[in-house]
Amino acid sequence: MRPHSCAEPSHAGRRLVAVDRITSLSAVATPERFTTIPAVIGAPMAGGPTTPELVTAVSTAGGLGVLAAGYLPAEQLAADIGAVRVLLPPRAPFGVNLFAPPPGPADPVDVAEYATRLAPLADAAGVALGRPRFDDDDFERKLQVVRVLRPPVVTFAFGRPEPGLVDELHGLGVAVWVTITSREEAEHAAEGGADAIIAQGAEAGGHRGGFEDSDEPPLPLDELLADVVPIGTPVIAAGGIMDAGDARRVFRLGATAVQAGTAFLLTPQAGTAAVHRTAIAAPGDTVLTRAFSGRRARGIVNAWTTRIGAEAPRAYPEVHHLTASLRASGRREGNADLVNLWAGTEHVRALPVPAAKVVAELARGLT
């Protein structure tokens, strides 16, 4: 039998709903907005570490896991949300993390110069560098997935959503949490209607999630908490939270919840590459670098960050695309010098235990 096309008369004589009306129709039954903030949040970790299994394990254990939509095709995000919904107990919450679009393309000359510096690495690895294109990570289509599938929470990195979008998401029953790295950003997020702010301290692994890719020295988590807790919007503390003692400390400083990333990187549910796991388990310094993506992020020091990291331009996501094939070859070949080894300053304390154990350990900080 031929499948029905949109608006074609069905065999019952009724007309099928056109696809572009599905969103507005599905918005009719508005559920209650999700307002709970579980004490332990599993940080979204784009690029492989966050899997639907990790999100499910965190949320099943009483925390809240967050899918990392960054770099994913919108279709994959939709599939991952579906997978989490199938795996989760009914009514257990979860979130989706989106990257707010970058402000605009970087200077192509800067990117070309950095490509010249990377060429010997690419030659030695036998791979071609990627095309350094500018894009918005398919933001609108991912937003459309969120509008239709309505995860309980959407968290934003790299910028706050426009107040109109916050209102729209609230109307769909979706809570909005915004990553901030300063008091000023926290005030903007609160004024824009955020239900919670994710305060990311200097210790945090991965990208700086603030609104701008600044050169300012990042604030240590405890100082940031002192600045933003008085605003009055619930604060989720992120950066270097590895055990109950760390969690207890930030709860006492006024945090409502903790968001941990690095503490989950060695769990069996994480999709962390083998070469990345090895580096996390070994003692080693971390550094803030634009080497891999063109935007400052914290990772474990390797030959790439040491030799040419300082020359990387502020050019996200162009540099991310430029280096993608080289980083993939490093993961494939187990060459740690070619991989962005994102990790927080406390990475050596990460444990290879099930994600539920990490959640239970962090939750002990509440007692």
Ligand X SMILES: Cc1cc2nc3c(=O)[nH]c(=O)nc-3n(C[C@H](O)[C@H](O)[C@H](O)COP(=O)(O)O)c2cc1C
Quick one: 122 or 238, whose CB is closer to ligand X? 238
- Of 295, 197, 300, 209, the C-alpha closest to 254 is 197
Q: Please compute, for residue 197, the number of CA atoms within 13 A of its CA located in the half-sphere on the CB side.
A: 33
Quick one: 49 or 151, whose CB is closer to ligand X? 49
The identity of residue 243, as a single letter, is D
Of residues 40, 46, 61, 88, which one binds ligand X by CB under 6 A? 46
Query: Residue 298 CB, nearest distance to ligand X (Å)?
Result: 8
Residue nearest to ligand X (CB): 261
Torsion, Cα 168 170 175 181, to 10 degrees, reads 60
Q: Which of residues 181-210 bind ligand X (CB under 6 A)?
A: 200, 203-207, 209
Binding mask 276-315 for ligand X (x = CB under 6 A): ----------------------------------------
Quick one: 115 or 224, whose CB is closer to ligand X? 224
The span from the CA of 237 to the CA of 46, in Å, is 19
Q: Which of residues 64-93 bind ligand X (CB under 6 A)?
A: 68, 70
The span from the CA of 202 to the CA of 283, in Å, is 19
Beta carbons of 320 and 106 less than 8 angstroms apart = no
- Of 237, 222, 195, the C-alpha closest to 43 is 237
Of residues 111, 260, 273, 322, which one binds ligand X by CB under 6 A? 260
Integer CA distances (angstroms), 31 to 36, 156, 174, 244, in order? 14, 21, 9, 34
Quick one: 111 or 266, whose CB is closer to ligand X? 266
Beta carbons of 221 and 177 less than 8 angstroms apart = no
Q: Please compute, for residue 151, the number of CA atoms within 13 A of its CA located in the half-sphere on the CB side.
A: 35
Binding mask 312-331 for ligand X (x = CB under 6 A): --------------------
The span from the CA of 266 to the CA of 201, in Å, is 21
Query: Residue 34 CB, nearest distance to ligand X (Å)?
Result: 18
Query: Residue 32 CB, nearest distance to ligand X (Å)?
Result: 25
Binding mask 208-237 for ligand X (x = CB under 6 A): -x----------------------------
Contact flag: residue 52 with ligand X (CB under 6 A):
no
Contact flag: residue 45 with ligand X (CB under 6 A):
yes
Q: Where on the chain is the footprint of ligand X (CB under 6 A)?
A: 43-46, 49, 68, 70, 97, 157, 179, 200, 203-207, 209, 238-241, 259-263, 342-344, 346
